[in-house]
Amino acid sequence: MGKAAERRKARRQKYMKDLAASDPDKFRKELTKRVMSWQDQIHQRAGEDMLSKDSPSVFGIVDAAMETLRSCGRSTSAQYEAETYSVLSTECCIAINLPSLTRPGK
pLDDT digits (tens, 9 = 90+) for 22-80: 999 999 999 999 999 999 999 888 876 555 666 668 889 999 999 999 999 999 999 99
**CA distances to 45, 58, 63, 67, 84 from 50, in Å:** 9, 11, 20, 26, 25
| Residue 59 to residue 91: CA distance in whole angstroms | 10
| pTM reported for the whole predicted model | 0.82
